[in-house]
């Protein structure tokens, strides 16, 4: 059965304190992995798509990486405006549906 | 930029009412989706559509129906609202047919059923 797990559930960082969020998955054949950012009360905002192990993508202070079993979202020198819930998702191998993790709630304090 | 809009940001309805949630996308996407999001449960797929007048059940279709009469518009209908349908409802759209395409989300509708 296709599954995705995100950790930690919640993360509190001081401004400038770099860290990583994890998305681990079990899927028959990975056909892509998506990262989204969601602010409270709003819809998820697309960040990255990764398609193959070893691939990396960057946007401002965020860098997403992908291995055969997990993806990391690295946050370098975060700022308070990076506070949000970060979701990962991948297409189920058999059904074409996106399987979402429950997210990591990031809080960055000044 | 991809734009997905939803008809309401907040709705308050009574138990038993029929509720319509509208979603419109302006990027000529073939695929449209309705999710609900609840704390601790993540996003769960209610219904989706790969083309006009087509619909497929997601993981939790009970108590819901959908309508897609035009390519850009996808409506979610709660036939008889119940308190356990209080939730955040999210619409999304994507282009293509491989199942690997990025889904773009609307701002969400927070529904409270009293």
pLDDT at A56: 97
B40 falls in which pLDDT band (50, 70, 90)?
A: confident
pLDDT at residue B98 is higher than 80: no
Q: Which of B45, B103, B108 sits opposite A42 (nearest CB)?
A: B108
Contact status of B41 with chain A (Cβ, < 8 Å):
yes
A42-56, pLDDT tens digit by residue?
A: 999 999 999 889 999
Q: Chain A residue with minimal CA distance to B32? A: A97
Chain B residues close to A98, C-beta within 8 Å: 45, 103
Contact status of B56 with chain A (Cβ, < 8 Å):
no
Contact status of B48 with chain A (Cβ, < 8 Å):
yes
pLDDT at residue A59 is higher than 90: yes
pLDDT at A40: 93
- Identify any residues that bridge with A104 across adjacent strands, giving them in sequence order: A86
Which sign does the torsion angle of CA A5, A43, B54, B20 carry?
A: positive
A96 falls in which pLDDT band (50, 70, 90)?
A: low
Question: Inter-chain contact B90–A43, Cβ cutoff 8 Å?
Answer: yes
pLDDT at residue A62 is higher than 70: yes
C-alpha angle with apex A86: B60 to A77, nearest 5 degrees? 180
Q: What is the largest CA-CA distance in chain B?
A: 40
Q: Chain B residue with minimal CA distance to A86? A: B42
Q: Residue B100: enclosing H or E segment and its boundaries?
A: none
Chain A residues close to B43, C-beta within 8 Å: 44, 87, 89, 100
Question: Helix count (H) and strand count (E) of chain B?
Answer: 0, 11
A93 falls in which pLDDT band (50, 70, 90)?
A: confident
Question: Inter-chain contact A97–B58, Cβ cutoff 8 Å?
Answer: yes
Residue of B23, B37, B49, B92 best to disrupt the A interface, most CBs of A under 10 A: B37
CA distances from B111 to B10, B73, B78 (A): 6, 20, 11
B20-37, pLDDT tens digit by residue?
A: 999 999 999 999 999 999
Q: What is the dihedral of CA B99, B106, B46, A66, to 10 degrees?
A: 40
pLDDT at residue B100 is higher than 90: no
Q: Are strands B73-78 and B87-94 parallel, antiparallel or unpaired?
A: unpaired
Q: Are the C-beta atoms of residues A107 and A10 closer than 8 Å to each other?
A: yes
Distance CA(B48)–CA(A92), nearest Å, equals: 15
């Amino acid at each position: 059965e296709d599954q995705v797990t995100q950790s930690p559930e919640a993360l509190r960082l001081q401004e400038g304190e770099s860290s990583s969020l994890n998305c681990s998955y079990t899927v028959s054949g990975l056909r892509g992995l998506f990262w989204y950012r969601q602010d409270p009360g709003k819809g998820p905002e697309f960040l990255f798509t990764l398609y193959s192990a070893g691939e990396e993508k960057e946007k401002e202070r965020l860098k997403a990486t992908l291995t055969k079993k997990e993806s990391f979202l690295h946050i370098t020198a975060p700022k308070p405006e990076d506070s949000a819930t970060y979701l990962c998702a991948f297409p189920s191998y058999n059904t074409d549906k996106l399987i979402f993790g429950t997210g990591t709630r990031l809080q960055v304090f000044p | 930029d991809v734009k997905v809009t939803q008809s309401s940001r907040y709705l308050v309805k009574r138990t038993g009412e029929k509720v319509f949630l509208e979603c419109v996308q302006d990027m000529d996407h073939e695929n449209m989706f309705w999710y609900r999001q609840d704390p601790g449960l993540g996003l769960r797929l209610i219904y989706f559509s790969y083309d006009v007048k087509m619909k497929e059940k997601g993981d939790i279709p009970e108590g819901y129906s959908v309508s897609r009469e035009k390519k850009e518009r996808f409506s979610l209908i709660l036939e008889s609202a119940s308190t356990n349908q209080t939730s955040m409802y999210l619409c999304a759209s994507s282009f293509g047919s491989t199942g690997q395409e990025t889904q773009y989300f609307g701002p969400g509708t927070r529904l409270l059923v009293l």
